[in-house]
Amino acid sequence: MSGQVPVIETQGLGKVYSPGTEAEVVALRDVDISIARGDFVAIMGPSGSGKSTLMNLIGCLDTPSAGTYRCDGIDVSTLDAEELAVLRRDKIGFVFQGFNLLPRMSALENVAMPLGYARVPPDERSALAHEALAAVGLSERESHRPSELSGGQQQRVAIARALINRPPILLADEPTGALDSRTGEEILALFGRLREDGHTVVIITHDPEVAAHAGRVLTMLDGELREEPRLVIGDS
């Protein structure tokens, strides 16, 4: 279907931190990507190569220094702060590198966060959060605080939170980094199901096995993006 608008499309995207100062870092240069609805994309590359920077721009958590980003056909630079917040809420689920869970809240409360107090009544919030935690295998840990959970369990809470609004785009920064291989496989299977449901999934990973699950592998190097030809890994 060539008429379809890419769900994520950047042109000449660039990011410079602290421009014009001694601390200036060119973190991203001239990145062009086009990601179609339902793609499952892995982003790889060494530490400091700009992966999280790119992800933060795609997730509308930061603004570029150069270039344009269209999310679902909308040039995000035309949106004000409130419109951006709505776009993020409705279209994007974000799993952060390092989870970003609120320490004083239970797992259930953390997962319910993105629903918004005003928008969704309390009963419904709890029911949806309960469902999302069950989907990542954490029904038994609803009332635990992050400090009372293992690293992998915290990661799964972060994923449940990212999925609570059923966003069409799921962005995950090292989603399997802190997980043992079995839990990592479960998380990947979860992403696979999301993709089958028509979600677009973009994950950052250092793990070639995780990348092998993706339909496309993009590699960052010194702020520049390259697309690898598809590797076919033999299954025996």
Task: Tell me how far CA of residue 181 lies from CA of 48, 146, 177, 184, 185, in angstroms.
Answer: 25, 21, 10, 5, 6
Instruction: Specify the amino acid at residue 209.
Output: E
The CA distance from 113 to 129, in Å, is 9
Residue in 49, 52, 153, 183 binding Mg ion, rule: CB under 5 A:
52
For Mg ion, which is the closer residue by CB, 115 or 220?
220
Instruction: Tell how strand 40-44 and strand 200-204 pair up.
Output: parallel
Residue among 77, 62, 60, 72 at smallest CA distance from 34: 72
Contact string 125-164 vs ligand ATP (x = CB under 6 A): ----------------------------------------
For ligand ATP, which is the closer residue by CB, 209 or 222?
222
Contact string 13-52 vs ligand ATP (x = CB under 6 A): ----xx------x-x-----------------x-xxxxxx
The CA distance from 69 to 78, in Å, is 10
SS3 at position 41:
strand
For Mg ion, which is the closer residue by CB, 11 or 97?
97
* DSSP structure class, residue 132: H
Interacting span for Mg ion (CB under 5 A) from 13-21, 96-104, 190-198, 219-227: 96-104
Residue 25: both structure tokens together: 């870092």
Interacting span for Mg ion (CB under 5 A) from 48-56, 88-96, 100-108, 227-235: 48-56
Which residues in this chain contact ligand ATP in the complex, by CB under 6 A? 17-18, 25, 27, 45, 47-53, 97, 220
Residues that bind Mg ion (CB under 5 A): 52, 97
